[in-house]
Amino acid sequence: MKTFFLATGALALLLSPLGALCQQNDPNSKTAKPGPTPRTADRHADLTGYWKSTRDSKFFWHIGKDLPDRNLPFTPAGEAALKHNQTATKDPESLCIIGGAPRHNVTMMPFEILQGTRKVAFLYGDGSYRLIPIDPQRKHSEDPDPAFFGEEIGRWEGDTLVIDSVGFKDEKIWIDEYANPMSDALHVVERWTRPDAEHIHVETLIDDRKFYTKSFTYSRTWITGEPDDQVREFSCSENNVDEQHLGFGPGPVRKDGTIGYEDPAPLPPPIPRSPAPKE
């Protein structure tokens, strides 16, 4: 028995650096043991940072990725809106119209959060931004001006930043990269947490009874960037040559549900570069 435990202990010791190595090679983690959640002076979790995509799902472009088989519960109006987006609408972002919420939670775009006491700023890689007022007493307007990010109100629930948004645009906006639709009846509730120093997570509640028969959630995790990473200048309409060449909809969808071509043709072989002659 003693021999068994010794052998087991030795095996555990042998495997532990291997486990750490596996974790370090995990693309969704930067270190084997991420540090604790940083905090602001008022003791809230600090969401400040530059955040980029992890590879926790190959379907994170799809708003229904957490539903069984990604089946969105469309109403007849939702089905019609989807068909319109797929067959008669160019991707609004390709026309340099900002994607807004919740689409910016669904893309590969990096973003940066600057957290203050009374406001939290989300800065996106396409040059768009949103400012969330932190005010638990505030109520939504009776008749908010339609916006791509909606009318947002933030509050803290412990270490969770809750962003409640209504008042969305109903044209020139997709809810995700698959051209799934959203209406002006959409109500989005985001719950942002920072479980450790390296990760940020959101649970997004989508409630749009005009286009979807019931509410559903979308969750996602991002990883922190390098210390000198930051969102950079981007002017979408500077030279938007694509506008005249793009087709409608998101493009073909593969059998596995991801966007893209099933078997793209191979490129010509690269031209070998000759090594420099030795001196």
Partner 1 sequence: MKIKFGVLVAPVVGFALATALPLLAHHSFSAQFDGSKAIRVQGTLAKIEWTNPHTYFYIDVKDEAGVVLRWGCEAGAPAALSRRGFKRGDLKLGDTVIVDGYRAKDGSRLMDARRVTLPDGRIVSGASEGDGGPQVPQVPDPAGKKQ
Decide: is 87 part of the binding site for partner 1 (CB under 8 A). no
**Would you say 118 or 245 has its CB closer to partner 1?**
245
Site for partner 1 in 29-68 (CB under 8 A): 52-55, 58, 61
Q: Which is nearer to partner 1, 215 or 240 (CB)?
A: 240
Among residue numbers 174 through 203, which ones bind partner 1 (CB under 8 A)?
Answer: 177
Confirm or reject binding of residue 236 to partner 1 (CB under 8 A): yes
Which parts of 5-34 interact with partner 1 (CB under 8 A)?
A: 27
Which is nearer to partner 1, 158 or 268 (by Cβ)? 268
- Which residue from 43, 118, 273, 278 is in contact with partner 1, where contact means CB under 8 A? 273
Residue 167 corresponds to which tokens in the numbers above?
Answer: 């008042």
The per-residue DSSP string of the chain comes to: -HHHHHHHHHHHHHHHHHHHHHHHT-TT-SSSS--PPPB-TTS-B---EEEEE--S-TTTTSTTTTSGGG---B-HHHHHHHHHHHHH---GGGGT----TTGGGTSS--EEEEE-SSEEEEEETTS-EEEEEB-TT----SSPPPBSS-EEEEEEETTEEEEEEE-B-SSS--SSTT-----TT-EEEEEEEEEETTEEEEEEEEE-TTTBSS-EEEEEEEEE--TT-------GGGS-GGGGT--SSS--B-TTS-BS-SSPPPPPPPPPPPPPPP-
Query: The tokens of 35 are what?
Result: 């540090």
Q: Between 158 and 247, name the residue whose CB sits nearer to partner 1.
A: 247
Using CB under 8 A as the binding rule, whether residue 84 contacts partner 1 is answered as: no
Which residue lies nearer to partner 1 by CB, 110 or 181? 110
Q: Segment contacting partner 1 (CB under 8 A): 12-20, 128-136, 165-173, 237-245? A: 237-245
Alpha carbon of 111 to those of 53, 126, 128, 133: distances in Å?
10, 9, 10, 18
* Site for partner 1, residues 213 to 232, rule: CB under 8 A: 232
| Residue placing its CB nearer to partner 1 in the complex, 158 or 275 | 275
Q: Nearer to partner 1 by C-beta: 33 or 254?
A: 254
Q: Build a one-symbol-per-residue string for 94-133: x at contacts with partner 1 by CB under 8 A, - elsewhere.
A: x-x----------xxxx--------------xx-------
Where do contacts with partner 1 occur on this chain (CB under 8 A)?
Answer: 27, 52-55, 58, 61, 90-91, 93-94, 96, 107-110, 125-126, 177, 232-236, 238-242, 245-247, 249-252, 258-268, 270-276
